[in-house]
Structures are given as structure tokens and as C-alpha cells.
Structure 1
Amino acid sequence: MNQTSLSSFIWSVADLLRGNFKQSDYGKVILPFTVLRRMDCVLAPTKQKVLAEVGKKQAAGVNPAPFLLRISKVGFYNICPMDLRAVLGDQDHVKQNLYAYLDGFSPEARDIFERFDFHTQVERLAKDGLLYLVAEKFANIDLHPDRVDNAQMGHVFEELIRKFAELSNETAGEHFTPREVIRLMVNLIFIEDDDVLTPGNAVVRTVYDPTAGTGGMLSVAAEHLLAHNPAARLTLSGQELNDESYAICKADMLIRGQPVENMVAGNTLSEDGHAQRKFDYMLSNPPFGVDWKKVEKQVRAEHEQKGFDGRFGPGLPRVSDGSMLFLLHLLSKMAPLVDGKGGSRFGIVLNGSPLFTGGAGSGESEIRRYLLENDLVEAIIGLPTDMFYNTGISTYVWIVSNKKPAERRGKLQLIDASSFWQKMRKSLGSKRKELGEAHIAEITRLFGEFIEAERNGKPISRIFRNQDFGYTTITVERPLRDEAGKVVLGQKGKQKGLPQPDSSLRDTENVPLGQDIRAYFEREVLPHAPDAWIDEAKSKVGYEIPFNRHFYVFEPPRPLEVIDAELKEVSARIMRMLGELAE
């Protein structure tokens, strides 16, 4: 059964709920039942062995849990004699049987259904006489991993979440990232590490996502590495705020045999679920343009009290957009580079705001300054518009690393991939475009080869020095004059005898880093304002990355005679039409 058929089959359950449940509540029933059936199928091959073992160990007075985990070969088990189909054996006691089955799961698996608030939905279904019908639907669908692999199952969950989000006017894109974007990001963070990708090299690496959603980024990273090097092992970790998304992610991690304690529920910004931990690789797609007012108190306290010993030392962005806070959080999770070993690389999806918002001295500029002066940004890739489910705006993938290869040191690569797309057969929310495999391969090649390149006569990859994005903002003052036009001088203190500035004539100039400020001032300012001076105390260093400006290609306007001829032709056509109307 392919993904579309599977999604359609599960979606058909909504026909049973129509009339008794609001459309916005369908997901509260269908998502936990889908997870339940998936776990039911995963445990089926070892069910009888687990039941036999639990009886032996209980008779011997031994805790059976570790033995049952070894038998089930996944991170959970169920000691109830029933499975989902057996639950339906007694139609008069389906609810009681289902509760007994749920109680038979190991604690970490039970937590998943508690996050879904599944008991509330079971009670509601039972009250409306729908519990047997809904449970029967799911009991008859085969979700065994041999039939539906983890990648396909992830697609199913994402499709269902998207549909439910559309019905309830919620933001589907907060829960997951398009798979082709994830594949691109995974390619970029792994491509320079030959030891990880070399087949047979039994390396162990950690991957982390602080905005894990349903776990798509972590899953794709694991699948990518397994495909290239089956001997490598990835330990997956993450944190997620939304309970339903967390429940799905946790279920996926359990089925994959990942340490379930590595998946943490809660707000990453206010309560770091992985405090003191460092990771080899990281991926994140934080919410675009979402404010951080709810956690402002905790974030500001960490910034002010811990400084660079905390996560937010470089600065704080404006409260209206918290995406750069996740960027800082990831920086704090980078493993140190010692004698050429260790270090980290991460990819994060951001909108255009972090590139240029905020002047010199602002929180955003100080964060960019920290990144560039510490030589941490390898590349920024501009993606096409209409790539995400919840927004059509331009988005950018930042690749950040503290283990740059020698040829990249002191430099930043910009890749304009805005023209790398193919039209989708069917739009999904705001998503109308997608990256094809050839597009992903080309972007990966441009990054991997670290080259400048053009496409159809226009630049698509450019390389700059980090300092090319820096500038010093100088404050240019001009003297205050009295009614007679005489310069007003200070009367006391350090200002005594000095010209006083006229705030209405005050201006600023941005001088590129590397240029002599005095020479710039004499060349660009004094010829126009001979009485001006620089207030040195107000000078500030800033950084911005005007991405689009570096890929702009001037296209000269058409010749005036061509435009004039077209206008005359249009005018003549209008006159002929008016004449025909007058007849």
C-alpha cells in the first residue's frame, strides 16, 4: 500500500466521526489510533515470547522489564495478553479491553498516549457508540514495518497532520519540514565528513533537533547515513513543545530502538532539556516570525546572569521573532574542536529577517557579528519561495560549523537556489514548489566543491570574506547655530569651547570594515558638509548579509524607440476600437 492510499484509508475514519466530532477534532482520534496500530504491528512478531517471558520472571520474583525489551527488540513492550484485534473480541467490553491493552504497555509507551489525552477520546467515542467501529477500522490495516517502513510512516503522519491543520485553520508547517528540504540539509551537514560516510567505518555520532516536531529531520538523517554507511550508528536526540507532535516523534524513536530518554518534551528556549550536552550534528526548522514573549523572563535572565556561559551571550533579537534564539541555542550545543578532532556542524532554516534585521549594536547584528567574527558560518542557501506548507516567503538554510576545512576559513559561501525548483502536481497548503533530486544534487555539489558558479548568465554561488559583511556605523554631527548663524559653543565641562551638535542635522554613515574611516569621511562627507565631525563615542560595528543584493544582475531597459513604437501601436489599436464602437 503506497503512502497516498494509506493516508486515504486512515482518513476514511473521518467518515465515521462526521456529525459527532468537529472537523478540528478528527486528529485527536485518528493520530493516536494510528500510533497505537503501528505499535501493535511492530510488537506482533514477539508478542507470544514476551508473554511467556513475563510469566517466568514474575514467578521468579524478578523485574521482567530489561528481559522484555531484549525480546521485543524495540524500546517498548506490552504485557497484556490481547492485541488490538483481540480487544474487539467482546463488543460489549471494548472500552475496558482497550484500557487493559493500553495499561499493558511499558511506561515510555504509555506516556505517548497520555500526551495525546487518548483516554478522553476513548470515553467520547464510547459514549457516541463509535469506539468499536473506529477500533475495527484500525485493527484491519496492516502497519507492520515490513509493509510500511519508517520513512513511509513518517510521510503518513505528516500528511494527516497537514490535513487536520487545514481543517482547523492551524499552522501545519509548525509540525514538520518538507522532506526534500531535509534531505538537502542532511546532505550539506554530512558531505565534508568522509569518516562518517565511508562504508564499513563503524563510527558513532549524535544528531539533535531542538524543534523536533514529529521527528522528520532526525529520521531522514538516520536513513541517509544508513544508506551510505550501514556500519555507522546515529544517536538521535530532540525536544518538542507540542504534545501531539512529541508523542508521534517519541513513538518513532521507540520503534527505531533509539534511547527514548533522548526525546524531551517542553519549551527549548525556557527549559533546555539537554543541558550540558553537546552534539556532532544538528538540524532545526524553528517557527518563522513567532514572538518569544511567553519565555522572555527566562531568556533575559539567562542572557543577563550567565552571559557567554549561557546560551544567549552574543545578544537577544527583538521579541517579535525568536528564530535567532534557536540559532544561539544550537551554537551552545556545538562540541569543541580539539587537536583537529570533534567539532560540530548544523543546518537551520530561517526566513530573511536574520540576514539583515537590526542596525549596528542591535541584538540581531551582534549575533551575526559573533557568528562571522568567530568564523562559524560556512554557507547560506537561498531556497525558492512557496516551499513550505504554511508560508510562501523566501527561506534560507544556514550551515554553521566550528570545524571548517582550511579552504573555507575566513570565508562565507552564498548560494542562490531560488531558481532550483519544479512545480508540484498538487499544491499542499502554501507549498507549490519542490526540490527535485537533480536540484538537491546540484546544490550539494556547489557547496561540496566550494566554488563560484553561474547559471544562464546569472551568479548562483559566490564566495566572500567574512569581513565583507561588516561595517562601522559612524555618527556625523554638524554644529548648532544661533539665530545669527553663529556656532553655539559648550560652556562647561568637557564640552567647554567645543561646537555643540544640532540633533536635527545628525546623520549616520556605514563605513565598510577594512576601509579607513577618516579617509572615507573626508571623501564622502566633508565635500558636502565642511563643518561636520564624527562623534567617535557613538561608533558601532555591525554586520548584515544583504543576500539578494549579491545576486542582482542589472538588466538595461529596452530602447526608447522600441517602447515608443509599442505605445503608438497600442494607441492606434484603442482608437480603432473606439471607432468601431461609434459606428
Structure 2
Amino acid sequence: MINFREKANFIWSVADLLRGDYKQAEYGKVILPLTILRRLDGLLEPTKDEVLTQYDKYKGQSDDIIDRVLNRATGYKFHNRSLYTFRRLIADPDNIAANLRTYINGFSTSVRDIMEQFRFDEQIERLDKADLLYIVVRRFSEIDLAGVDSLTMGYIFEELIRKFAEISNETAGEHFTPREVIELMVNLLFMDEQDIYKKGAIRTLYDPTAGTGGMLSTADAFIKRQNPDATLLLFGQEINPESYAICKADMLIKGQEPGNIRFGDTLKDDQHPDERFNFMLANPPFGVDWKKTEKVVKAEHEKRGFAGRFGPGLPRINDGSLLFLLHMISKMKAVPEGGSRLGIVLNGSPLFTGGAGSGESEIRKWIIENDMLEAIVALPDQLFYNTGISTYIWIVTNHKTPRRKGKVQLINATGFFQKMSRSLGNKRNEISPAQIRQITELYGAFQESDYVKIYPNAFFGYSRITVERPLRDEHGRPVVKKGKKNQPSLFDGTGAAVQYEPDANLRDAENVPLLDDIDLYFQSEVLLHLPDAWIDHSKTKVGYEINFTKYFYQYKPLRSLADIRADILALEEETEGLIHTILDTQ
């Protein structure tokens, strides 16, 4: 692989030319679109003369015909029909602004759309007024990006975005996911799939939070390595205009259909409403509220129910990550069509936030009871650029293999990391290729170990029971309930059945595992201590939670008193020696 940091650092050096005329937070408005243009320019330069020849021959034809002819000449799904290249632009310093605009307008529609997302025409005018345009274009003409493969180009873009985010106090992690995390997700996503490895296989992959396209690119590269005869059609949607533009440019260069990458807010305005996909990957924002989309999401939940995307429930307003998971599940193909698999990165909150009956719990309940949760992998902390918190990969599918049916696999991979030689924001750890293989093998083996737990679906469920105790009068006697039926009955001292008024101040609740018998649990855990208690079954709710820490907890025995005493005495001797040293030097 080409040294992507060397290339990124050269491109970044252009920022030195902008200093003074641009604020640091604005550097990306110039550098990112010009990086894309230089990349496209290098790819198109070998066929430039042929394109111009074909354009002269067909320019009286319709735009559709011209596009097909010129794209065939370039070998890509784009072309440039202007007379200019970067080398020809810098040959005419006095007309650089007009010529650069002509050059950009000579691109096919998809590329012009990318430039419009950057609003690059505004920067041309601004750079020209500051007498910087020619200098900046000339600097970009000095770097060769034609020989850079798509994966490396992705690294270059990510490195540039990270630098911009750092100097402008923005969140780099909103734009992309560390590549080793994506590689692990891709390994897990395709682990049990066989059809994708057949000759001529055609499958679809979707990312609703596509960013710069890192997940799409990594998955595509994986499939090409494993089966060069397979085709993975890539789809995505992205809300950030710059990231969207980079992702779309990457799809263009790969030969993918750039129109499959859509711009907009996925939760508010699904740009692929009728599509269903074989595979999906996503890293939605961690712990970000969904107030901006609240009206639309709630309306869909209430009006469409399970016919829409959010039928099972809605999480609390301060974290919308589970909404993205529900959105992806709604994009699954039906089982008779082969079903679907998805991988999503979430923080710890979706595992356990919300008690029985809450939106989060209802979402977990629906996913697990429908046997869609296949595995969860706990990742090391400090893996991401914008946060040091713990993160988890969820693998969700509607067509589990026979050995996985009715079960959920948990993998504790928190210790599978190595320290980085240099921190990048909050990212201080990384997962090595060897560790990615180890985690993948643990997943594939599907056997319990120190790192793997396998539980039946019902293991994660519980019944939230309401325990009542009788209200007592001023003499301490239970108050008998009057005039109501279907209430729980107790027995007084004579053996007669009676119903008591519950005391709200003594009301309590218990979580009873679904795998346990409620009555037996109540007798052994409650009645033994509170013989006058009863269960109000009308208030019982079923909830689901996944307590990762609890399942992998390993008891560490306390140190003996003798060992502790020995350490204290040793410290006392050491301290006394230090005191003597200090006094002797005075």
C-alpha cells in the first residue's frame, strides 16, 4: 500500500498557503474538493486526447449518447469534455479562474453534483480575489493521485478530515470509522454466507450513515479478494454534504453507480424507501439526540406501526442509535428471497437502558424474540477518534444458520488490542490484523470459552412483577378491599379467602428471569421474608436487557490480611527511610 500519510501530509501542506486568508476551520472547503478534482484528473489524463476526439465526433448527438461514448473512452462512469487538465490549467496563470470553471463544467453530471455539494464555485472566487487560486492549483498539480488505489485514497481522505476536525474542534468520528473496526465487521458479516462466493454472484450492501464510504469500500474490497467473480452493488445515504461528496466520488472511481449514494437525513427522509438489501453496515452517531427528526419519526411510529420502520417502539429522545438499527431491519429482504444480515456499531446504552415496557426494552424484546440477534462483540475502549467509551458490534439477521437458531453469541474482545505509537484524538488503541483473525475465529467456532458465552434468547428476558402488601388500619390490621373483583386473594387466620387493599408505600418490584418460574421465585425470594405479600399480575411486564459485564465477570479473591499487613509494614519502612534521608540533608 502507498504511504497514505505521506500523500495526506503533502496535501495538508496546502493549508500553509491559506493561512491568514482562511480560518483553520475553513481549510477543508478548499483542500477536499481540490483533492477530488486532482484524483479524477489523474485518472482521466491518459485518455484525454481520445475523449476530445470522440467529443468532436459526437457533439451533435444527445447528451445520453455523448455520455455513453465518452465514458466508454475513459473506462469510468465519468469523463471531462473540456480542453483542460491540471497541467493545462497552470499553463495559463492569467485566466486560472475562468479556465478552472470551464474545466469543472466539462465534467459529467455526477462530478458536477459533487462539486456543488462543496459549493466550490464560491471558493474559486474567494481564492482568486486573494491571488491564491493559481498558487493552490499549481501545488495540487505536483501530487500524483492516479496510482493510488481506492482503499488508500479512503485513508487519505480520512486523515485529512481528521486533521480538519482536530483544528476546528469538530467531531472526526462523525465522518468515518477506524478501518480495523470495519474490517472486523466485514469478516463477521460475511462469515456464514456461502452464496456470495459463487461464480457470478450479485449482492447488495447498504450503509444508512455512509460517511465518506469507508464501510462500503472495505466490504467491496473484501468480496473482490475472496471472489473476483462476485459483484457487490453499493448503496448509501449521508447527511453531511462534504462526506456525501467524497463518498459519491469514491463510488464513481470504483465503477459503482454514483446515483445509489443519496444525500439527506436517513431517519427523516429515507432516500431508498422501496429498496431491500442483502447486507448492511453502519456506525450511527453515539448518544446523539433525535429531536430534529422527532416529529417525522413519531408520526411514522404512530400511524404506520409495524408497516413502517419504527413499529416495535421508540428510544428516549437523547439517543437515536436504535432508530438506525430499526431502519436497517426494515430494509431486510424476506427469508424466501435469501434474507439479510447487518452489522452495526453501538455504544453500551442500547444494551440495557430502559426498564420493562420502555421503548429501548421493547425494541430489544422484538429483535430477540424474533430470533434476529445473532451475536454481540464487545470492543476495546479508546478505538474511536471522537470518544474513548466502550463500543459493541451487533450482528443481526433474519436467517440464522441451524446451529445458531434460538441463541445469541456474546464475545468479550475488550482485551484484543495494542497500544498505538501515536494517539489520534481519543484513539489510543487499535486492533491488529492478527487480533481481527482471533476474534473472527472465536465467532466462527461458536463454542463457549473465557471469551465467548452462548445463551438461549429467553436468557435475556425477565418479568417485571409488582409486589403488593396490605394497607393496615390504625390498629395494625389489614384493610379488606371492598366492592372489587378479580383481585389477588390471601387467607386470613381462619382459612377464609380475603382481598386486601394494597399499600402504595410498601409496593415493590422484582425482576424474575424468564427462564425461572414466577411462582417458585415468589415463594422462595419474597414470601419467605414477607408472608403477607402478593403479586399484582395485571402490572407484570416483560423486558429484555443484555448485561455484558455481569456475564463475563470473573471473581478475584481478596488478598489475605497477612499480605496486606506485610505491604503496610514495607511502606512504613520505606517512608521512615525517606524521612531520615531528608533530615540528614538539612
TM-score, normalisation: structure 1: 0.96
Matched, 1:143 2:145: yes
Look up the match of 1:535.
536
Mapped to 1, the partners of 2:377 and 2:148 lie a distance apart of: 33
The equivalent residue for 2:431 is 435
In structure 2, the partner of 1:484 is 475
Match of 1:236 among 217, 234, 237: 234
1:456 aligns with none
Measured after TM superposition, the shift of residue 45 of structure 1 is 2.1
Contact kept, 8 Å, 1:472 with 1:511, in 2: the verdict is: yes
Match for 1:485: what amino acid? G
Encode CA deviations 1:383-418: one digit per residue, 9 max, x unaligned: 101101011111000111111110000001000011
The amino acid that maps onto 2:92 is D
Question: Equivalent residue for 2:200?
Answer: 202
- Secondary structure at 2:451 match in 1: strand
Against the structure 1 CA distance between its residues 360 and 61, is the aligned structure 2 distance closer, same or farther, given a 3 Å change threshold?
Answer: closer
Q: Which residue of 2 aligns with 1:367?
A: 363
> In 2, Cα distance between the equivalents of 1:333 and 1:73?
33
| 2:542 paired with 1:551 | no
Alpha carbons 1:307, 1:313 under 8 Å: kept: yes
Number of the residue aligned with 1:398: 394
CA displacement at 1:315 relative to structure 2: 0.7
Residues 6, 495 of structure 1: alpha-carbon distance in 2 compared, 3 angstrom cutoff: same
Letter aligned with residue 367 of structure 1: I
Q: Hey, what does 1:307 align to over in structure 2?
A: 305
Q: Secondary structure at the match of 1:276?
A: coil
Could you tell me whether the CA contact under 8 Å between 1:387 and 1:431 is conserved in 2? yes
Matched residues in 2 for 1:196 and 1:45: separation?
A: 34
Count of aligned pairs: 572
- Aligned-residue offset at 1:91: 1.2
Whole-angstrom CA distance in 1 between matches of 2:405 and 2:62: 61
Distance in 2 (CA, whole Å) between partners of 1:322 and 1:582 is 62
Q: Kindly indicate whether residue 461 of structure 2 is the aligned counterpart of residue 470 of structure 1.
A: yes
C-alpha distance in 2 between matches for 1:166 and 1:138: 23
Match of 1:426 in 2: 422
Deviation readout 1:67-89 (Å, 9 max, x if unpaired): 22222222211111111221222
2:224: which partner in 1?
A: 226
Residue number in structure 1 paired with 2:131: 129
- State the shift of 1:425 in Å: 1.5
The code of the aligned residue for 1:151 comes to L
| CA displacement at 1:263 relative to structure 2 | 0.4
Q: Secondary structure at 1:525's aligned position in 2?
A: helix
Q: Does 1:80 align with 2:78?
A: no
Partners of 1:345 and 1:402 within 8 A in 2: yes
Q: Please provide the CA RMSD for this pair.
A: 1.5
Identify the residue that residue 156 of structure 2 maps to in structure 1.
156
Question: Does the 8 Å contact 1:202/1:232 carry over to 2?
Answer: yes
Cα pair 1:190 1:197 within 8 Å, conserved: no
| 1:408 aligned onto 2:404 | yes
The structure 2 residue matched to 1:295, chosen from 293, 296, 299, is 293
Q: Find out whether 1:215 has 2:213 as its counterpart.
A: yes
- Contact 1:206/1:281 (<8 A) preserved: yes
Residue number in structure 1 paired with 2:110: 108
Cα deviation, residue 301, structure 1:
0.5
Identify if the C-alpha distance between structure 1 residues 490 and 35 changes in structure 2 by more than 3 Å, giving closer, same or farther.
Answer: same
CA drift of 1:54 comes to 2.0
Q: CA deviation at 1:60?
A: 5.0
Aligned residue number for residue 94 of structure 1: 96
Offset, 1:579: 5.4
SS of match in other structure, 2:59 = helix
Amino acid at match of 1:176: F
Residue in structure 2 matched with residue 514 of structure 1 by the alignment: 515
Aligned to 1:276: 274
**One-letter code of the match for 2:109?**
P
* d(CA) in 1 for partners of 2:190, 2:78: 31
2:452 to 461, 464, 467: 461
Unpaired runs of 5+ residues, structure 2, are: 488-497
Q: Secondary structure of 2:345's match?
A: strand
Once the two structures are superposed, residues 118-169 of structure 1 have per-residue CA deviations (whole angstroms, 9 ceiling, x without a partner) of: 111111111111000001011121111xx21111100000000000000000
Deviation for aligned residue 1:47? 1.8
SS at match of 1:218: helix
Using the TM superposition, give the Cα deviation of residue 582 of structure 1 relative to its aligned residue in structure 2, in angstroms. Answer: 5.8
**How far does the alpha carbon of each residue in 1:456-478 deviate from its partner, in whole angstroms, 9 at most, with x for none?**
xxx10111111111100000111
Within the candidate set 348, 354, 378, 2:350 is matched to: 354
Whole-Å separation in 1 of the counterparts to 2:119 and 2:323 = 30
- Which stretch of structure 1 is more off in the superposition, 573-582 or 505-514? 573-582
Decide which moves more: 78-87 or 463-472: 78-87
Taking the aligned partners of 1:52 and 1:40, their CA distance within structure 2 comes to 18
SS in 1 for 2:143: coil
1:179 partnered with 2:179: yes
SS of equivalent residue, structure 1 residue 348: strand
Assess if the C-alpha contact under 8 Å between 1:290 and 1:323 holds in 2: yes
Instruction: Quote how far apart the aligned CAs of 1:426 are.
Output: 1.0
Partner of 2:72: 70
* Cα distance between partner residues in 1 of 2:91 and 2:165: 34
- Tell me which of 318, 321, 342 is aligned to 1:320: 318
Deviations 1:239-293 (A, max 9, x none): 0000000000000001111111110000000111110211011100000000000
Alignment-derived partner of residue 255 in structure 2 = 257
How far, CA to CA, are the matches of 1:261 and 1:480 in structure 2? 68
Q: CA deviation at 1:494?
A: 4.1
Structure 1 partner of 2:494 = none
TM-score by length of 2: 0.95
- Residue identity matched to 2:81: I
Q: Percent identity?
A: 55
Amino acid paired to 1:108: S
Are the equivalent residues in 2 in contact too, given 1:383–1:396 (CA < 8 A)? yes
- Which residue does 1:188 correspond to in 2? 188
Q: Deviations over 1:320-346 (max 9, x none)?
A: 0010001101100111111xx511111
Offset of residue 514 of structure 1:
2.5
Q: State how far apart, in whole Å, the 2-side matches of 1:323 and 1:424 are.
A: 28
Counterpart residue number, 1:566: 567
Judging changes above 3 Å, is the alpha-carbon distance between structure 1 residues 15 and 581 closer, same or farther for their aligned structure 2 residues? closer
- SS of structure 2 residue aligned to 1:239: strand
Q: Secondary structure of 2:395's partner?
A: strand
Aligned to 2:493: none
Query: Do residues 167 (structure 1) and 167 (structure 2) align?
Result: yes
State how far apart, in whole Å, the 1-side matches of 2:311 and 2:260 are.
26
Structure 1: where are the runs of 5+ without partners? 454-458
Structure 1 letter corresponding to 2:397: S
**Alpha-carbon distance between aligned partners in 1 of 2:513 and 2:62, rounded to the nearest angstrom:** 75
Q: Give the match's secondary structure for 1:45.
A: helix
Structure 1, residues 307-366: CA drift from partner, whole Å, max 9, x if none?
Answer: 11000011111110010001101100111111xx51111110000111111111111111
3-state SS, counterpart of residue 203 of structure 2: strand
Specify whether residues 495 and 332 from structure 1 end up closer, same or farther in structure 2 by C-alpha distance, changes over 3 A only: closer
What is the CA–CA distance in structure 2 between the aligned matches of 1:474 and 1:582, rounded to whole Å?
67
Instruction: Report the alpha carbon displacement of residue 487 of structure 1 after superposing the two structures with TM.
Output: 2.1
Corresponding residue number in structure 2 for 1:452: 448
Amino acid at match of 1:481: R
Q: 1:48 to 1:582 in 2, by over 3 A?
A: closer
Tell me how far apart the structure 1 counterparts of residues 546 and 319 of structure 2 sit (CA, whole Å): 18
Q: In structure 1, what is the Cα distance between the partners aligned to 2:179 and 2:100?
A: 34
Distance in 1, Cα, partners of 2:423 & 2:400 = 38
* Structure 1 residue matching 2:229: 3-state secondary structure: coil
Give the counterpart letter for 1:330 in structure 2: M
